[in-house]
Chains A and B, each alone.
Chain A
Amino acid sequence: EADIYQTPRYLVIGTGKKITLECSQTMGHDKMYWYQQDPGMELHLIHYSYGVNSTEKGDLSSESTVSRIRTEHFPLTLESARPSHTSQYLCASTMGTGGNEQFFGPGTRLTVL
């Protein structure tokens, strides 16, 4: 069982609010990822990190930002939430490269009213 956690699991918030989605893993993985998934659709990579102080943008452009100050922690922040940000956000981590599976957290379902 993967030790990767996301909070909150569900969030309903009004337009313009600042939000932070938390992601933590206890496996000591260097690489961490954020994916966005609209209902019934595929996942898209929006951010990734190779390790502490490393953050990169993924394939899908996103208004969110991320930080990686500690190995185990990779939070995602939206400075001003909009209805277009309504989606599921999934955090993942992996030990290394190649064939190592990515372990996923349970996801955060975000609804912006």
Chain B
Amino acid sequence: AQKITQTQPGMFVQEKEAVTLDCTYDTSDPSYGLFWYKQPSSGEMIFLIYQGSYDQQNATEGRYSLNFQKARKSANLVISASQLGDSAMYFCAMREGWVGGGADGLTFGKGTHLIIQP
């Protein structure tokens, strides 16, 4: 079973509109972290935001916020006031198992290709 599911392969959004990118996850580990990364066409991975499983409040970083619904196992990324430079691939990722000494590498979803139109 997929551990990270991103159901939107591609999205077109008008500039200045808000965007919500969906992410659901699957884990039985009580301690886990959820990350969002942006990957422009140049290929580098840019960290955007992090949410820990025990965090009480939704994470925010500038124009990025994470809508964390733990019971639904969902961690959607919200980008407010989108800009042309936001056009890129967006990946949701999870880290789990580090408490038990696990690998703690990231498991990634398949990504969403976001295109911002002028």
Contacts and interface: CB of A to CB of B under 8 A. Distances in A.
Contacts of B31: 98
Contact of B98 (A59, A98, A104, A106): A98
B57 to A, nearest CB: 14
A45 B44 contact: no
Interface string A69-106: 00000000000000000001010100001110111111
Nearest to A47: B105
Contacts of B108: 42-44
Contacts of B47: 101-104
B105 A33 contact: yes
Interface of B: 31, 33, 35, 37, 42-47, 50, 52, 91, 93, 95, 98-99, 103-111
A101 B51 CA distance: 11
A33 B103 CA distance: 10
Please indicate which of the listed interface residues B50, B104, B105, B106 has the most CB atoms of chain A within 10 Å of its own CB: B105
Contact of A59 (B43, B44, B99, B105): B105
Please indicate which of the listed interface residues B31, B103, B108 has the most CB atoms of chain A within 10 Å of its own CB: B103
A99 B106 contact: no
Contacts of A105: 44
A98 B43 contact: no
B35 A45 contact: no
Please indicate which of the listed interface residues B43, B52, B110 has the most CB atoms of chain A within 10 Å of its own CB: B43
A48 B95 CA distance: 14
A43 B44 contact: no
Contact of A43 (B33, B46, B98, B106): B106
Given A103-B47, A104-B44, A97 B98 contact: yes
24 contacts: A31-B104, A33-B106, A35-B105, A41-B111, A42-B108, A43-B45, A43-B91, A43-B106, A43-B108, A45-B103, A48-B103, A59-B107, A88-B43, A90-B43, A90-B45, A97-B99, A98-B98, A99-B50, A99-B52, A102-B106, A104-B37, A104-B46, A106-B43, A106-B44
B43 A107 contact: yes
